[in-house]
Structure 1
Amino acid sequence: MNLTGSTRIRGTTGLLNVRGEDHPAADLLPGLTVSVEGVRDGADLTAAEVTFKEGDLRTARAIAGGLVGTEARVAENSERIDNIGQLVQAGRTKVFFALGSAELSAEGRASLDAIAEQARGLNTAYRFAVVGRADPTGNAAANERLSQRRAQAVIRYLERSAGITPDKFLLPAALGSAPVAHDPDVPQNDAEARRVTVTLAVSASARRP
């Protein structure tokens, strides 16, 4: 897709996708779902107008912010992870929630205790990536807030009850019910979507033999 100086980039809101404010080209973030109107010349498409949902933009910003936040937090920590940008998964758990709830269940607390114990047993620096989700019930804004509450509930438990210090967390992401481009772990049903995924990550260099 080719952009020109006259390409209009706009966000939309609501069920009717009412057009809202104009946006700069910098807001066309990786993973953002867009609709394009323009002129095609063979394989090339010159865009006259690009539109996207404001909710999808917030999701893309949260994901991008998590990546930037990773670098910023690691740089500030006294316990440095080498090769930032090359974090690899060392463990993962999912915490599921009741409909409309951000309250941890006994099973959820047990899962968090287990991954916290795994982290404390590592002989290298580690970080936790926390991603909240919601099912499609309700509107997009409410789902985003609910997924944020769920992510924060998980972080609070890990800090207050499982002994994980705040510097061990990457910037959390709240995805709500929005679809994610190239999602490696798509929820298969509504119950599976009501969750927080907690990933334990270490530097890639720490996993090399």
Structure 2
Amino acid sequence: MTTIRTKLATLGLLAAMAGAPGLALGQDAAATNGTLKGMIISHSGSTIVVRANGADTPVLLTPGTSIRGTSGALGIRGEDHPPSDLIRGLAVTVSTVPSDAGRLAATDVTFKNSDLKTAQQINAGLASTDANVARNANAIANVGLLEPAGRTKVYFALGSAQLTEEGKQNLQSIAAQAKQIKGAYRLAVVGRADTSGNAAANERLSQQRAETVKNYLVRTQGISPAYFIPDTALGSAPVAQDPDPPKTAAEARRVTVTIAVNKSSQQAATAE
């Protein structure tokens, strides 16, 4: 009988703990108990954000925070590291305590030196990718300076996103025209659909048509994906101040490809 009462009391205590604020199972429990095991997803100033068990937890770094990297199979050998080594993608174990600011503060941050090396290699690759993206974005940042230098239309059958032979010939012509341009250019691909069917289905179909055209230009005409402005799928929706509105349902089932160039570079090329 005593054993039964003891078990019931234990179960009641566990139930009370599970329902008490701040003692929920999972990430909150790990933080309350003073340990976070996860991956750093950002580091800004004196705060790192650790992702563990699907939750993101900001942790404050203080002058007294110990940051150690370990080596060896047993992780016995350790060395101190600067806060700058706490980079995104690094797997860490963080010992935490509540801070006066109402957030968690780190007393100790530990990680494997091999994990740091891997994270550094990944971040080097990301930095290179970010730089390439920034260069591409900068090239078309001022859309107001772009002007059309050529355009073609590719028409599709009802409910279809498959290119016709005539459509392929039109795309071959616009690709050849783009390659002859001196200086940088971009291709704007805009998909449309007629008004038959519902709006959501029409938008999906127009997106499929735009992707078909872009894939054809990339795979068969050698146009780099970097030259494309992000695709636009208009579906059957009308466009305010449309310079070329479709007059019939057949005209609406189309993708328009426009060569866009920078006004200043086009003027310079003309002057030459």
Shift of 1:77: 2.4
Q: How does 1:121-200 map to 2 (within 5 A)?
A: 121-200=180-259
Q: How does 1:64-79 map to 2 (within 5 A)?
A: 75-77=134-136
Shift of 1:123: 1.2
Identity %: 60
CA gap 1:140/1:78 in 2 versus in 1, 3 angstroms: closer
CA distance in 2: counterparts of 1:205 and 1:82, whole angstroms: 14
Shift of 1:182: 1.1
Shift of 1:85: 2.8
> Which residue of 2 is the match for residue 96 of structure 1?
155
Q: How does 1:51-62 map to 2 (within 5 A)?
A: none
**Structure 1 runs of 4+ with >3 Å offset:** 78-84
Q: Which has the higher helix share?
A: 2
Q: Which has the higher strand share?
A: 2
> Which residue of 1 is the match for residue 78 of structure 2?
none
| Amino acid across the alignment from 2:157 | A
> Which residue of 1 is the match for residue 164 of structure 2?
105
Q: TM-score, normalised by structure 1?
A: 0.62
Q: Which has the larger radius of gyration?
A: 2
CA distance in 2: counterparts of 1:87 and 1:75, whole angstroms: 18
Higher relative contact order by CA 8 Å / sep ≥ 6: 1 or 2? Answer: 1
Asked whether the 8 Å contact 1:132–1:176 carries over to 2, the reply is yes
CA distance in 2: counterparts of 1:81 and 1:141, whole angstroms: 30
| Amino acid across the alignment from 2:249 | D
SS in structure 1 at match of 2:229: coil
Q: TM-score, normalised by structure 2?
A: 0.48
Aligned length: 138
Asked whether the 8 Å contact 1:74–1:80 carries over to 2, the reply is no
Long gaps (5+) in structure 1:
1-72
Long gaps (5+) in structure 2:
1-131
SS in structure 1 at match of 2:240: coil
Asked whether the 8 Å contact 1:82–1:205 carries over to 2, the reply is no
Q: Give a deviation string over 1:123-144, Cα, whole Å, max 9, x none.
A: 1100000000000010000000
